[in-house]
Amino acid sequence: MTRLFPLLLVLAALQPGTTDEGFSLAPVRQDAHPDVLTIAADLEHQTIAAGEPRPGVVAWDRLPDFIGTEVAHTVYLPPGWTPGRSYPVVVEYLGNTARVRDLRAIGYPLCAKAEMIWVVLPFVAAGRTADTPTWWGDVDATVEYAKQAVPAVCARWGGDPKRVVLAGSSRGAIACNYIGLHDDEIATLWQAMIIVSHYDDMHIPWGMSPEEQRRAPERVKRLGRVPQLIVGEQTVLPQPGGDTSLRDRIERDRLTTFAAAKQALGLKPMLEVEKTRRFLREHHPDGNYTFIDLPWVNHESAAFLRDTPERETMRRWLETVVSERSQP
């Protein structure tokens, strides 16, 4: 029913446990610092270079229908990119407050050391002349943009249509199902998904209409057996609007391990608090899920600019899943 990649065992030498919903889950590192930003970054968020995409940089790319507007996507070609070769593609949607140009992303940290193409797609705003930094804009236009952009990137830059992975954190995480499984056609684009910090699980509206919120079970059924890596940080009830208050308490009380912070703050996994796993058990129990409960409270994508065992596990999951899909 579920699949726990052996890679998850790098998180601890212990055997994986089981969630209340019956899903396999690797144990959380008790000795990890609960504020991961205390670790020095070994990567930086990317910036957009002038000119067309070329190896080792991020550059703008545009669909013909949007020339003359601000609506565009970015393409990162790996440093060793060579014409004529075929590459896996990580396609990403960004979190709230970010437009494409901001590139506050998880995709680059996950594929920076691999030969993969990384693409950031826009949420097309109403009016279709710009991308929106908050929630969904014109959903139909955003869905249609992805349907055109992903095949175009594969055709022009050597992306392998059989190895396209959709990723996102926060709003981008919700978008993996909300946009990525919005209809049967767009659902066929993805061979795997990496979903970090939230899920389209119907527990709150996430900027959707009530009708769209209620359709989450319909969307998740389009997933079939496409693998999802579902990742969430630690939080509290009631949930804060961000991680600032928790980080302040960790610093003030000098909490230096996850175990200490869990006891002092009453931390619980986001995937448990938001009932994501219960939603999946009720509406698509036969999906191919791998779960990671992170040992920190950080919500922002900057968490993945740090060298942690969890980031390494996510990288190896990504490398494994695209390798499996390269086989005949």
- Show the domains of the chain with their CATH numbers: 6-324 (3.40.50.1820)
Percentage of the residues of the chain whose pLDDT score is greater than 70:
94
Tens-digit pLDDT profile for residues 200-224: 999 999 999 999 999 999 999 999 9
Annotate 71-99 with b (16+ C-beta within 10 A) or e (fewer): bbbbbbbbeebeeeeebbbbbbbbbeebb
Mean of pLDDT values over 24-45: 94
With a cut of 50, say whether residue 96 has pLDDT above it: yes
Task: Determine the pLDDT at residue 25.
Answer: 83
Sign, CA dihedral 216-123-121-272, equals negative
With a cut of 80, say whether residue 126 has pLDDT above it: yes
Tens-digit pLDDT profile for residues 160-175: 999 999 999 999 999 9
Largest Cα–Cα distance in the chain? 56
With a cut of 90, say whether residue 45 has pLDDT above it: yes
Nearest-angstrom CA–CA distance, 199 and 63: 29
pTM: 0.93
Mean of pLDDT values over 98-107: 96
Instruction: Name the residue with higher pLDDT: 2 or 129.
Output: 129
Q: Are 175 and 113 in contact (CB under 8 A)?
A: no
Nearest-angstrom CA–CA distance, 303 and 296: 9
